[in-house]
Amino acid sequence: MKILVLGAGATGGYFAGRLAQQGADVTFLVRERRAAQLAANGLVVRSPHGDFTVRVKFVQQAELRPGYDLVMLACKAYDLDSGIDAIRAAMGAGVGAAAHVMPLLNGIAHIDRLIAEFGAQRVIGGTCGIPATLTADGEVRQLGPLHRIAYGMLPGTSADARVKLEALHALYQRTPVDAVLADDITQELWEKFVLLATMAAMTSLMRGSVGDIMAAGEGEALMAETLQACALTAARSGHPVRDKPMATFREILFARGSALSASMLRDIEGGRCVEAQHVVGDMLERARAAGVDPGPLRAAYAHLQAYQARRGRESRA
């Protein structure tokens, strides 16, 4: 199976890098600067599960042609439109020639966008969790032991995608990655959305880690209110969080002394773009539509909007 991966950053670099480490046919679609790093040093990954460096295939957009079975989309949500344009030449057309696209973006709003662009039959559901970052010199650095990926058929996905998913799952079974071929990937997407929206909202709003929030007088109560709002929104949308994931979420979100924070906070601290609308804003909209009291989501989204406004103003100064 031939796999194209948009992005060799923290997410795409890690999860596709593990496949390449095992000899899978993986090609990265990258920009010029990242291409130069990969050519010079290979794909370098630092991980609690074992460091590795692997020489990988890569292309730039002008060189892209059809012929791939699966396209893994591992960009930020604010780059979704440009990402769609970038992979278009690889998607192919016609019976037996079309690729399926599997996004690994945060949130859920991007699924409808991809379906509108490529058709429901060609979109596979995917989600992942990993605390990781891409260093200035091009190393993928995993910041904690979590490295989970889940994928599965969406209601409209064509039947031939099942063979591709089974082949992908067989590849992941050869890696240390916690990989799940999900019977209900929509449920997986919603559960990740609940966890991420809660963590992104709270760590961004409070400008601190989970442990910092727990050390604040009202921190635990505010975290609980945010989690409740997100979980109730999921339930009223037809996807209540299952008991086992919810127990895990509580362990993560209420861990005293934890240094864990959402990547959104790291982006704020680095003065970078944030996925404010796609994660916190979208959850806020869905909460209101479902008749759920959004609690601290309102303040968190306003905080992120103010950050974006200030960032835009200062960039124009």
Of 287, 275, 265, which Cα lies nearest the Cα of 199? 265
Radius of gyration of the chain (CA): 19
* Segment 156-209, tens digit of pLDDT: 999 999 999 999 999 999 999 999 999 999 999 999 999 999 999 999 999 999
Residue 94 predicted with pLDDT over 70: no
Q: Where are the domains of the chain?
A: 2-183, 188-316
pLDDT interval class at 98 (50, 70, 90): confident
The pLDDT of 65-71, averaged and rounded, is: 95
Residue type (1 letter), 160: D
Rounded CA gap, 129 and 144, in Å?
Answer: 11
| Minimum mean pLDDT range among 101-110, 127-136, 171-180, 249-258 | 127-136
Span 182-191, pLDDT tens digits: 999 999 999 9
pLDDT tens-place string over residues 41-64: 999 999 999 999 999 999 999 999
What is the phi/psi pair of residue 295, to 5°? 55, -135
Beta bridge partner(s), residue 181: 151
Share the mean pLDDT of the chain: 95
* CATH architecture of the region 2-183: 3-Layer(aba) Sandwich (3.40)
Question: Residue 220 in contact with residue 254, Cβ under 8 Å?
Answer: yes
Asked whether residue 95 carries a pLDDT value surpassing 70, the answer given is no
**pLDDT above 70 covers what percent of the chain?**
98
Prediction pTM value: 0.92
Cβ–Cβ < 8 Å for 164, 2: no
User: Which residues lie closer than 8 Å to 16 by C-beta, 6 or more apart?
Assistant: 3, 5, 8, 26, 28, 72, 74
- The CB density around residue 100, as the number of other CB atoms within 10 Å, is 21
Q: Enter the DSSP assignment of 277.
A: I
In the prediction, which pLDDT does 144 show?
87
- Rounded mean pLDDT, 250-260: 96
Task: Provide the Cα torsion 292, 187, 297, 206; round to 10°.
Answer: 150
* Burial class of residue 135 in the structure, from the number of CB atoms within 10 Å of its CB (0-12 exposed, 13-18 middle, 19+ buried): exposed
Q: CA 280 to CA 286: how far, in whole Å?
A: 10
Instruction: Classify 283 as helix, strand or coil.
Output: helix
Q: In CATH, what number does 188-316 get?
A: 1.10.1040.10
In tens, the pLDDT along 269-279 reads 999 999 999 99
Distance CA 180, CA 183 (A): 9
pLDDT given at position 44? 98
| Residue 96 in this model has a pLDDT that exceeds 70 | no
